[in-house]
Amino acid sequence: MPPGMIMTRTLSGESMRDMRAVLPDEVNKNITVQGQGDQPLEPTLENGYKVFHLEANVFKWNILPNKSVDAYGFNGQVPGPRIRIKEGDHIKINVTNHLPEPTTVHWHGLILDNEMDGAGEITQRPIQPGETFTYTFDAVQSGMYFYHSHYATDRQQSLGLYGMLMIDPKDKNQVPEHDVEAVVSLQEWLIRDGLTFPAMSMEGAFPNYFTINGKSFPATETIKMKVGQKALIRFVGSNNNFIHPMHIHGGPFEVIAQDGEPLPSSARYKADTVNVGPGQRFDVIWIARKPGKWLIHCHIPHHTTNDNVEVQGGGGLMMILDVSE
Ligand SMILES: [Cu+2]
């Protein structure tokens, strides 16, 4: 049990279950240290359906070259693989559970049939270890979405069971012109005594590591741009606990979509910081006005440290837009 939790006479064993550390001997998939998350997942085509395969496993995941977590994740990646589809597609997603506990997958924000919604014990019997469940839906929306475990969510999403779901619109003009695109998917971790606990908004369980697309700064991706180019940056609140005020240096951006829905031009607005809460998505366009290294980072400075320590100018929720002439 993490120190600091307040025990009372009535604290039940059940309340402890979801906060336990991942046991290192539960790791059942080997991943290379250099593994990157959010990699494109290719579907097969079957009878007019795009069919995807997700597999939930336990694996060691490097958030920094010298720091790994014992993660629950999809297809050996944190975030899980990127499912990128088109508006109008017919979709099937087979989910196989190799976790030591039941799970489900919820398709956050999608219009679909209730029994495909993935709310464990509400809309379906959770997928038991060793079982496969097939989700099916038609993509009637477009924009930035994500998927995540919806069973013991406080534990499972915290341990890495989430991934990006992007639906390209039929009408390409719906997305403003841009030269580069970057997903900024947030997550919080608790590593203590070499063990990975699910980070929770609870005394004794607060996170001490923070990741963008599964990596802590300085291991986060650097985005190369040229002066005058536009970046479409898609913030995703795939984390469980904090609202992260995500800030970009070098001048304001324009918020063009929220939660997958494009904002009409009259509702678009300029800002230099957006509060990205758990579950939210914000798409923004940032123009590279001047050359140099411009930061994207959370404005809660503790979230730009790694276990309370700044490394090479920061940590955690930080990445660089590297703009050349
Ligand atoms: Cu933050």
Q: Which CATH architecture has domain 13-174?
A: Sandwich (2.60)
Q: Are 271 and 286 in contact (CB under 8 A)?
A: no
User: For residue 77, how far is its CA from the centre of ligand 1 (angstroms)?
Assistant: 22
ipTM of the prediction = 0.85
CA of 187 to the centre of ligand 1 (A): 9
Kindly list the distances between the CA atom of residue 128 and the CA atoms of 15, 82, 99, in Å, as whole numbers in the listed order.
21, 24, 9
Say how many Å lie between the CA of residue 203 and the centre of ligand 1.
Answer: 17
pLDDT value of position 220: 98
| Spatial separation of the C-alpha atoms in residues 33 and 54, rounded to whole Å | 21
Query: Ligand 1 mean position to 6 CA, how many Å?
Result: 25
Note the pLDDT of residue 5. Answer: 64
CA 305 to chain centre: 19
* CA 301 to ligand 1 center in whole angstroms: 7
What SS3 class is residue 106?
Answer: strand
CB atoms within 10 A of CB 251: 13
Instruction: Report how far ligand 1's centroid is from the alpha carbon of 276 (Å).
Output: 9
pLDDT given at position 108: 98
- 180-324 matches 13-174 in CATH topology: yes
Distance CA(177)–CA(238), nearest Å, equals 26
CA 291 to centroid of ligand 1, rounded, Å: 26
Encoded amino acid at 187, one letter: Q
Using the mean position of ligand 1's atoms as its centre, give its distance from the Cα of residue 198 in Å. 17
Return d(Cα 87, Cα 198) in angstroms, integer.
35
Rounded to the nearest angstrom, the distance between the alpha carbon of 310 and the centre of ligand 1 is 15
Centroid of ligand 1 to alpha carbon of 147 (angstroms): 21
User: What pLDDT is stored for residue 17 in this prediction?
Assistant: 84
* Cα 236 to ligand 1 centre (Å): 12
Q: How does DSSP classify residue 1?
A: -
- The DSSP bridge partners found for residue 111 are none
CATH number 1.10.3720.10 given to 180-324: no
User: What residue has token string 């997603």?
Assistant: 93
Tokens of 9: 């006479």
pLDDT of residue 14: 75
Ligand 1 center to 58 CA (angstroms): 26
Rg of the Cα atoms in the chain: 20
Report the alpha-carbon distance of residue 18 to residue 271 in Å, rounded: 38
Distances (CA, A) of 84 to 142, 147, 163, 177, 241: 10, 12, 11, 19, 26
**Residue 203: predicted pLDDT:** 87
Tokens at residue 247, please?
């800030």
The answer for residues whose C-beta is within 8 angstroms of residue 17's C-beta and 6 or more apart is none
Ligand 1 center–CA 297 separation, angstroms: 8
163-184 CB burial, b ≥16 within 10 A, e <16 = bbbbbbeeeeeebeebebebbb
Instruction: Tell me the residues surrounding ligand 1 (ion) with CB < 5 Å.
Output: 244, 298, 300, 303
Say how many Å lie between the CA of residue 255 and the centre of ligand 1.
Answer: 19
In the predicted model, residues of the chain with pLDDT beneath 70 are: 1-7, 11
Q: How far is the CA of 173 from the centre of ligand 1 (A)?
A: 33
| Structure tokens, 84 | 């990128």
Closest C-alpha among 163, 180, 148 to residue 83 = 163
User: Do residues 41 and 83 touch, judged by C-beta distance below 8 A?
Assistant: yes
Strand partners, 90: 49, 138
Query: What's the rounded Cα separation, in Å, for the pair 278 and 273?
Result: 16
- Sequence spans of domains, the chain: 13-174, 180-324
Ligand 1 midpoint to CA 99 (Å): 29
Tell how far the Cα of 186 is from the centroid of ligand 1, in angstroms: 9
